[in-house]
Structure 1
């Protein structure tokens, strides 16, 4: 273990989720809910780092931390507090705390702070937690509520229904429920119900026997079998055909299933997490979704907020995605205050997914190391011309562009230029996206698009695209 951590907090949910996160980072974590429990743990299991709340049922955490530091000066203390005032921060500093984190705080920030504290204290092998282990980022009140619900479900197998707009990170929530729970050593198996042909959904979910239907040359295990002991993530559950809903309901009720064409009963040893961007209650009312299945799935509902409803998180998310792009080989970039303001002012119809894509494009295509407001606004404007909102698709984006021309330049619909206009609108962001994906390497981008390198270079000149480096070519 990289370090012994004593976590003191009287909030059960906070203790569960923080302790799980620290354990996933390789630490030996003990918890206490009061100063009395803290005293017992200090004697029986002396920690390398003390993480403590301020307001505890039987006293003040900062005062006790100061006393602890008087006898153990080499032990870092990290103070947490929901009383996010200047006075609290000053008191923590005067007490000698290593750091002070106001609630609500981001779990990744806390794990990094603990790792840094251990490193300073000379821990034998401090482990820097990987960002992908804690993919949910945000300090906003809306995200803190999501964290609290996750904390309450990781210790049980209750079915979870995650709802929210496209691009809000529903699969990340599902993975967090799995990764922090008792089934984390077993598989996490996702299946997108909207991507499976109607006549193949049952075979995909439950598997099939050889000869069960034309083309079934051998037995195949379905997703329920593949996820045995772990978590089955049913993405876009609202797009599941009604006939398949009936069979899924039977499995959830009985805990058993048979393969297509099979007779042997198989136990469904999985945790179910479902997700949707649709209004399932509305679908129930219209007869498109079974009411009894809805209530089987929505045992624990989690509503993910749209990014426009958590603007306080935009800057932190943007910097995280720029760092992620840098880790993957794209140029390292930073945002100035104007760029952050421009990002926070945008409504983000594509939510976190749209923000991540924008940061990747900026990392690859921005000329300067420091990104400003004008560049952010320009990139958002170019993307908006063709980028569909959520999952509505390219057809809707083209229709929106035509409607825009009809309002702003109606003559363009009759002057014979419409084909070139539409293709031009699509071509530039397509080339920019492929350059971004391949780190500015024109040869690889050309191959991905289906052009030869010389043709791509000509199109870069015609379209006014400034390529980022020559890569390997």
Structure 2
């Protein structure tokens, strides 16, 4: 039987966790403050600590080093409903084994407890306290992203960042580097999509003097410049197959051979990659090496599009306004409504540019809807396959797998997936038939009242 210390000022959470712990055959002690928990930890031994962040008196993160002195190598699981990137990074850097986001269900807590006991020791990797680029977000999906960034920063594993254009993959890469043990070393960016096919090899690997008619001096490549730091391969899917093979050699051998040279140079860097494409489909199409895909995908982080984090839009807009010089800018109520109802196909990049335009447009401190530029049109989705149905199937499979693997979605997967797909179908039909219920319902094969009810359910009724 193991002993678990639960430190949280919410009595309902403590009761639920204590009952769960008992059902697992373990013993739980409860503390309502960090100070009370420290007294228990000083006078008794525990095999696991579940620690809330927001506590009366000393907060959980500040108390973590003191708990570590008493607990030794026992895992510490941090719990919070107020996660941001800095909180996640501090938790991991202070030695947290895992980071639980409230609200959570008991199945998630059970799985975390089992994983913690299966681990040999808590991850106490040292990290840098210097903050990188500020990533803004309070929604649960962004808290999960912050958690994964913090976990990635605490190790040296290769990271693959995935997401639509403009979601903030570059900021995430910077954040991982800035919070890692390599933060004092170079962060070298390779924009694969903008490299000339004829120059990509010399840009990456360097060249000796006289290798070509244009090489009037020897040059270190970007791989050599990244030594000791982080190599960021942006839009990695665009790297030519011939160069992918040479990159695999670098990753395998940890050395670089410049063009025209017979001498290799040892190198040591961490790799972070980013893509807006589905690399698995590229692998199937023979356009991306499978071994390189597995090498790059050591730890995957998917950054959600802005339309999946609507509650962050006003927070982001205020943040952009402040950083763009509009310190005293405010958003009229109609502007706030307009910002939250737009689809933002360009994601953060489009929102940033819209706020920049509005600040330049307005002569007052209040931003009105008329100060915003027209929204970007929906870009045609570039097919990753010659078979569009196959691409759609891949997307649905991936989303279904995400939901099935999410403890918070247990028993709700069907409903949640339907809620994500059905509104788009209904809206498309209504647009097609000029918001006339009868023809739209006939085309969909639904009764008119059923269509009306569903539109009401999703808040889409005209």
State the secondary structure of the residue aligned to 2:324: helix
- Structure 1 CA distance for aligned equivalents of residues 191 and 34 of structure 2: 45
TM normalised by structure 1 equals 0.56
Q: Name the structure 2 match of 1:325.
A: 324
Tell me by how many angstroms 1:334 deviates. 0.9
Map of 1:372-391 to 2, 5 A cutoff?
A: 372=368, 374-375=369-370, 379-381=372-374, 384=376
Q: Are 1:167 and 1:390, in contact at CA under 8 Å, matched by a contact in 2? A: no
Deviations 1:260-300 (A, max 9, x none): 11111111211110111111111111111111111110110
Tell me, yes or no, if structure 1 residue 205 matches structure 2 residue 197.
no
RMSD: 3.6
Q: Name the structure 2 match of 1:309.
A: 308
Structure 1: any 5+ residue segments left out of the alignment? 1-7, 10-32, 43-54, 70-76, 81-100, 112-129, 393-473
State the secondary structure of the residue aligned to 2:207: coil
Deviations 1:385-435 (A, max 9, x none): 7x978999xxxxxxxxxxxxxxxxxxxxxxxxxxxxxxxxxxxxxxxxxxx
Deviations 1:304-342 (A, max 9, x none): 10011111111111000000011xxx5742113321221
Tell me, yes or no, if structure 1 residue 188 matches structure 2 residue 187.
yes
State the secondary structure of the residue aligned to 1:151: helix
Deviations 1:202-236 (A, max 9, x none): 11111111111221111101111111111010101
- Structure 1 CA distance for aligned equivalents of residues 88 and 204 of structure 2: 39
Q: Name the structure 2 match of 1:360.
A: 356
How many residues matched? 293
Instruction: Name whichever of 183-192 and 259-268 sits farther off.
Output: 259-268
- Structure 1 residues 56 and 298, CA gap change in structure 2 (3 angstroms): closer
Map of 1:277-296 to 2, 5 A cutoff?
A: 277-296=276-295
Instruction: Name whichever of 199-208 and 102-111 sits farther off.
Output: 102-111
Deviations 1:157-199 (A, max 9, x none): 1100101111011111111110000000001110100111112
- Structure 1 residues 60 and 305, CA gap change in structure 2 (3 angstroms): closer
Q: Are 1:274 and 1:297, in contact at CA under 8 Å, matched by a contact in 2? A: yes
Q: Are 1:108 and 1:137, in contact at CA under 8 Å, matched by a contact in 2? A: no
Deviations 1:6-26 (A, max 9, x none): xx99xxxxxxxxxxxxxxxxx
TM normalised by structure 2 equals 0.57
Map of 1:449-460 to 2, 5 A cutoff?
A: none
- Runs of 4+ with >4 A deviation: 33-37, 39-42, 55-62, 77-80, 107-111, 387-392
State the secondary structure of the residue aligned to 2:220: coil
Choose from 328, 332, 335 the match for 1:336: 332
Map of 1:112-123 to 2, 5 A cutoff?
A: none
